[in-house]
Amino acid sequence: MGYDPPFEDHPYYRKILSSLKAGVLLLSLFLLLGPDCYGQDSVKKLSSFRDSTDHAIDISDWLVNKKGVLILPSIITEPAVGYGALAAVIYFHSSYSEKSGPPSMTGAAGGGTQNGTWAAGVFHMGYWKQDRLRYTGALLRTSANLEFYGSGQFLGNDPVILNLDAWVLFQQLKGRIGESKFFLGGKYLLFDTDNTFEVPVDLPEFSGQEFHSTLSEASLLLNYDSRNNVFTPTKGFFLQTSGTYSDTWFGGDGLYGRLIFDAIAYFPVSDRVFIGTRYLNNYTLGEVPFYARPTIRLRGVPLVKYQDRHVLEFETEVNVNLSKRWSVLGFAGMGNAYASLDEFKNGKSVRTLGTGFRYLLIRKFGARLGMDFATSMDDFAFYFVFGTSWFR
């Protein structure tokens, strides 16, 4: 059973999918508040959302048997674009019980934030041949207003507003290698955008205040996944390496590439305590467009604030189960965005620290939800989280 979110290497729109997951949190709040708001009939109806083992709120049976249309509201809390709201309509082609595995899903989503950012799109996630083939496809239209700090230190702590008026097309297909835990596949991303700075940026690579650009990338990826749970793992490894190629003949603005290695490990210390670690190395080659350069993605750090040609990240967290349903966690991280190996010590570095809590909402899938609160050197943020914050 697995799930691979789109745009995994491109920071501007990854938060959109994360907000979809947060919709499950709002659904749970509805279930918790339902009896008080809707009376005795609702109490009877909502009794199906309680676990037979401990009578706690749980939506396992509902999800296992779910088929048809689901409407999910959500909240956006990303500091880079401000607070906002998002809604998705998802069609389940089958249920988990019918397919004995993850169902294929087709949906549409749209939303906006207080700084004028908005996005709308359609997507399909297919799990075929008894989960031997995994497909993700999406088409997105967006206008994103971001605080642009740029690569290196040339803007310092005084960003300019950058608007990205874009169409995004994403395609990914992965196949299981034999009966192993390895997957091999490829993906394609087309990012066609009109860029507008709030004020002109006086650098050679930015010709004036408005300009058009196109990102066209093809990637080959190899993935190993031995986690005991794709939603809230407590044991196992997720390892993925990918190589990306882009060139003018391919429809892009230039010749460049990127090499990405992502490693996540989970270790049980006892029946109640679990440790997780994550390491990411995103290394680019050639003249990568400024808006596609890697950016540090740690809890407590606004997207695209720490950006350069290469990025290194490390984060660790400790989870403690207080009871069967409730757990708390603490985490810390560090990252560095740098121009070259020689300039590593002069890169844009950041450290983070945070805490959070989880509730076991879907016992049969081992899926928890809750909130994280994180701070970095100059910023604070909170997040609604379904599963793990390192969802892969």
Sign of CA dihedral 58, 20, 335, 184: positive
- Over residues 91-114, mean pLDDT: 86
For 262, the token pair is 């992502």
pLDDT at 22: 47
- Over residues 123-141, mean pLDDT: 91
Domain 11-386 classified CATH 2.60.40.2380?
A: no
- Over residues 347-372, mean pLDDT: 91
> What mean pLDDT, rounded, does the chain reach?
83
- State which amino acid sits at residue 152: G
pTM of the model: 0.82
Portion of the chain with pLDDT greater than 90, in percent: 45
What are the boundaries of each domain within the chain?
A: 11-386
pLDDT at 69: 84
- Over residues 349-366, mean pLDDT: 91
DSSP string, 154-221: SSTT--EEEEEEEEEEEEEEEEE-TTSSEEEEEEEEEEEEEEEESS---BTTB-SSEEEEEEEEEEEE
Q: How far apart are the first and last CA of the chain?
A: 12
pLDDT at 40: 47
Given a cut of 50, whether residue 30 has pLDDT beyond it is no
Taking the C-alpha atoms of residue 301 and residue 316, their distance in angstroms, rounded to an integer, is 15
Taking the C-alpha atoms of residue 148 and residue 157, their distance in angstroms, rounded to an integer, is 10
CA count, 13 A, side-chain hemisphere, 355: 3
Taking the C-alpha atoms of residue 142 and residue 128, their distance in angstroms, rounded to an integer, is 30
